[in-house]
Amino acid sequence: LHPTFVTLTWRSAFKNEDLWLKIGSIVQAEFGVNVLLHLTCHLPVSDLKRILRNVREAGIRNILALRGDPPIGVDTWSPVEGGLKNAVDLIRLIRQEHGDWFCVACAAYPEVHTECWNHPDLPPSEQAQKVDLHRLKEKVDAGADFVITQFFYDIDILDRKSTRLNS
């Protein structure tokens, strides 16, 4: 299929990057496919710095910087002690520690992140859409090289959001 890259997810339950890096290194070295490693804010900054150093030493150059989901069984996300509060902070940390060595991706939500919705049964309001777009712009301004989304249902929404982000 010759994909441009493959992604490796990082779950909030992961406390150690060894297996994650081993898989990423094998995919990249043995199959010749670039790896985009998901990295979330669920660990203290000292651990995130160590992980970034180890990723760099492994020769993996692509990071998807995410806040991350709440741990399994928890309804809302909150930062860990000594941790970061969101993807913007993680992108800034990556740039501060490693400059432009990493290609950094960030997440977009063409139909608005669920935490911006005013009501779960109604479409997001214009205000919610503006908040979501502002958060995306913050990630790009912090140093994200590209924006990625998992899926969307309406291509027109993605096109409008892309146009507003570029203006």
Q: Phi/psi zone of residue 143: left (φ > 0), alpha (ψ -120 to 50 degrees), beta?
A: left
Q: What is the pLDDT of residue 131?
A: 85
Residue 140 — very low, low, confident or very high, per pLDDT cuts 50/70/90? very high
Kindly state the helix (H) or strand (E) to which residue 101 belongs, with its residue range: none
Handedness of CA 13, 75, 131, 117 (dihedral sign): positive
Q: Phi/psi zone of residue 162: left (φ > 0), alpha (ψ -120 to 50 degrees), beta?
A: alpha
Q: What is the pTM of this model?
A: 0.85
Overall average pLDDT of the 14-26 stretch:
84
Q: Is the pLDDT of residue 11 over 70?
A: no
pLDDT per residue over 80-108, tens digit each?
999 999 999 999 999 999 999 999 999 98
